[in-house]
Structure formats: structure tokens, C-alpha cells
Structure 1
Amino acid sequence: MGNVLEIFASMMNFDYVVVRPPDSLWGARLNNGSWSGMVGMLEREEVEFALGPFTITPQRETVVDFTVAVHNDNKAILTVRPGLQSDVSGFLKPFTLDVWLLFLLSILAIGTTMRMLTSTEDRIFGTFTKNLTTKTAAWVFQTLTQESSDWIPKNDGGRLIVTTWLLASLVFMSSYSGILTAMLTLPRVTIPIDSLEDLVAQDDLPWRLEAGSMATKFLEESEDPVRRKAAAMSSGYFKDCWSSRQAIANGEFAGICDETTMKKAMSWDFSCQLGYLGEAEWQGLLPESLPLTPGGMGAGSEYGEQMYQVDPPTTDMDSVPGVGTWDLLLAQSAIANSGYKATWLASHRMTLPISIDIIKHSGILSKWIGDQITNTSQCLRPPSADRTESISALNIEAFLGPLSVLLAGCVLAFLSFLMEHILFIALN
């Protein structure tokens, strides 16, 4: 916005002094009917115009005049970036719950059928199988785990079931081992929040709305129940997406704000992780709001009242695949579309649109935004692409699930031994 401001000043031949709104807000209607933020300053004629990514709303149009859009943008969700995490139940993930239930039913069905068929064949052919139930159960599980069994039925009916179960268990276990190997080699990262529906459906990460923006009113008055729920269940407000970028990266809350500021925050996060720029070097970014005084114009922001020009890193990391880490994730599903608007009083509105058209159609604005938001392709990569190219060793957490099953089996075996011992003493 600083470059846009300079263009306006040069083409319209005026000087400016930047004034920061006392509450550092865009502007929303208060309960007493007055307005906060920059819109309030315009309404009270404390400034001549304000420049920033405003969104036109019917309420704001009652007190200020809007020019044509400088840039269109979306409202979206910015969250902490999920990473690769060990899953205790990961060894169960190769199949869905339905498949596992059908598999267990198959074991019961095969075991019961084999028990009944073998017993019937023994009566027909005058044979006898000792400990039939135990042998049948052991055979079912030995065949399932591709182990050889010392016992098979003596007659053709039982042997046909043996052949059928052997083929079925071979397909099942081969599929399980193959999928599990692939999951361990190329683990998937679960993205818990990728849309507004995901956000309101979870309760692990609170979310906040940008103070003084149109997002709150838009969500509250929406006909979509999900959007109304997002407004009603929010945990509060944050100043703006840029100043709250570190809190979001730390996982304190998720933020709903404009995508351009989100991408800038992600670019900052990526560049700082690489060590190219420090915190202070990136705080020269011109803020989203620039209220202006009569006879002058300037840049008031949380970073001070001086305008800065920040050059991006000299190395374009978009061309270096798989380098760097970052902690922010932009949800793929947008919440709403809004326009970056330059808000002026009526006295300037007649000449300003010409300047805006020149900036828009010449492509200058797109270049300025691209210069500030570097490493875009790296920052927008899915979390599953964060893994390293080399195969990493599995840690103990990756085996917690199987080890838990083994421990539970040992406990049950010990309890069974105690029961048998107690019964033996009681009977003798």
C-alpha cells in the first residue's frame, strides 16, 4: 500500500502525513451508533481519506465513500501447520473400520463352520478328532498369519474350507503388509482444519476473528449456519493477521483474515526459519490501514509512524525444492471474497479512480505484491511434502500401538494363568 500511496501523491500532487487510529482497527459500528477505527476517523472528518484493504459493506457505505477495488482477495483461515506425528493406532489404519469388522466376522464364521463341518464329518465317517475346538481356533489364526499348521481336516469338505481360507488370508495379509509398509515409508499428514466446516467441527484449536473488520458482521448475518456458528463460537478477536502471525504459528489459535496478509505472514515465517531475515527486518511492512490527515498523508501502524521499503531475500527459494521449514498453513477453502478498497472522502473521489485503473491494468500492483510475498510455491506446499527425501528411522512412538497390544496380551495371559492356578488349588 505504500507504493500505491506514493502513486496517488505523485499523480494528484499532494503531500501527506500518516496518522494511526487510536484503536488500530479498520472500523465497525459500535452499540452507541458511532464507528471505531479508520471509518470512525473518516466519519468524524479527522482525516481526509484512508488507504487499505477495506471491504465494502452496506453499513460502511452509510458513512464513507468507496472507490473501485484496487485488488480482490478472499477471507480464509490461517492455522499452525500440522506435522508428521506418530499414531498409536497407526497399525490399524491400512483398513477402514468396516473392513476390520468384516474381517473379524470372517474369522468367527470360518472357525465356526470348520468346527461344525469337521464334527459332522467325524460322525459320518466314524472318525474322531481330539480337542477339535482348540485345533480349529489355532488353525484359523496360523493360516491367517501365514504360519504352517500341524493339523488339517481328514476329509474333503474340511480341506476345501482350508483351501478357501488360505487364499483369502493370503490376499488380506499381503494387502495389509503392503499398505502398512507404504504408510510407514511415505507417511501422510492429516490436515485437521482445511475449511470452515472443519474449523467449527473441532474443539482442539480455538479461533479468533480480526477486530474491527467486516468478517464478524458477515459471518453473523450469513444465511449459512456454519458461518453463523463460526462467529458465535469464536474465542475472541486479534488485532490483525500480521501482528498475530507468531501466536498463530505457536498454535495458540486460528485466525480468519485476508489471504494476502496470510501469504505474507507465511513468507515471513519461511524466510525467518531459513535465517535470511530477522524479525526486525520484516516489520517494515506497510500495514493494512493508512488514515490520512488534511494537507498530509503518512503511514501509521503498530510498527511506528515511518514508512519502510523492505527488499525480499536475494535468493528465491521457490527454485530450491524441499528446503526450509515453516509453521503456518493456509486453509484451501475460502470463506468469502472481498476487495481491497481505497476509501476516500467525496472531495477526492472524482480523480482517484483514474489512478486506480492505471495501477490495476498496468500490472504494477501485482508486481509489488509478488515482490513482498516471496517463496509462495514453497509456503503453499501441502504438509505431506514436508518430509525429507531420505528414509528416517522409526522411533519408539511408531511402535506404541503394537507394543500396547503385546502388553495387553501378556496381561491377559498372566490373569488366565492365575485363574487356572486358583482353580487347580481349589479343586485339589
Structure 2
Amino acid sequence: MVAENILGQPKRYKGFSIDVLDALAKILGFKYEIYQVADSKYGSQLPNGSWNGMIGDLINKRADLAVSAITITPERENVVDFSKRYLDYSVGILLRKPEEKINIFSLFAPFDLAVWACIAAAIPVVGVLIFLLNRLQALRSSSSQNGPPGHLSNGVGSGTLHSAIWIVYGAFVQQGGDGVVGSVALRIVMGSWWLFTLIVCSSYTANLAAYLTVSRMDHAIR
């Protein structure tokens, strides 16, 4: 609400609050005269219980209504009636928009370094376990069939260690394998590994999508 004084004429007020007051006067059919309170205050309660400012003028019936961007507080609501608020003021802080930095290693961001290390260690460990179970199955099969030792008739891969690790890695990246799992122990190990890779891959996909779509706020204020 701004007051103007042009060529000695009385002050003329303008602004959003005055527009609201003019609309109310036109709809309800009343005339008004604006004046500023003597102490130029909104209104606060004094130690003796009285009020100053616009609230005090309303309580003492020196004014019929007050128009201003005044804050609605419980103390003020106990002594005067407020209309529904039509303006909301908020305080904000402006910061310079940070420069977007492209990180080529953002694909590793969904998991911590410890998680990647555990995954990298789990692949050869499971590969060695599958290799040992495959060899054990081969020995049992050769002893029962009197065949040459190490001959695999129904196992995973070709029976070598690097083939077993490759099969485990292929299952982790969801590319499948090239062998048939025969023994119950191999089925349990491979089934557990497939379930583990399903959970890890699903978690990685969800975290990567959230990481790439949700903008993370960088606290520029230190």
C-alpha cells in the first residue's frame, strides 16, 4: 500500500490491499476514509494489556476496519476478527545455479565401493565353489561308470575353473549359461546365485534411475 501526494492534494493510496478494499466497498455499498495510525505500527500487546497500532485503533473503536499486510497471530485473533487471508509472504534465499558436471563414473554411483567389492569377490568365490562341486560330480560319475577321471557328462561348462567363473559372471549380467546343472548341490548353488543376481540387478536399476532423474542439491553455502 503506497501513499502518493500530488500537487498538494490529499494522499492517494494504491496497491493490492486498496483494490480489495475498493471491491468490498463496491459490493457492500459503503464509503471509507483511510488514515494512518499515529505510531505506524501493526499492533502488539503492551505490558499493561492494551494494544497499540492498528489493532489498538480497532479495539478502541477509532477505526471500523484495518487494511494491511498484517500477520495473523493467536494473540491478535483473541481481540479482533480477521478475514480470510489473501496474501502469503515467504522468505527465500537465492543462489547461483551450479554448473552441471558430467561424471563418467556415475554408473557406479548407485552402490557404495564396499558393495562393488563384495560383488567382485563373490563372483570368483561362487565360481570356485561351482568348479569344486562340478569336479566332485565328475569323480562320482566316473567312479560309478568306470570312465576316465574328470570326464563330465552332465555339468556346468567344460569343467575348467575359468569356465565356471565365466558361467557365474554370465549369470550375474543376466546372460545365462551354456551347460546343464545336474546335481542337487549345483542346483542349490546356482539357484541361490540367480536369486542374488536378480535382487542386486533390480536394486541397481532402481537406484540408477533415481540417481539420474532426481536432482541432488549441492549445498553451496559453507
Question: Which protein has greater RCO, CA pairs closer than 8 Å, 6+ apart?
Answer: 1
**TM norm structure 2:** 0.47
Higher Cα radius of gyration: 2
| Higher strand residue share | 1
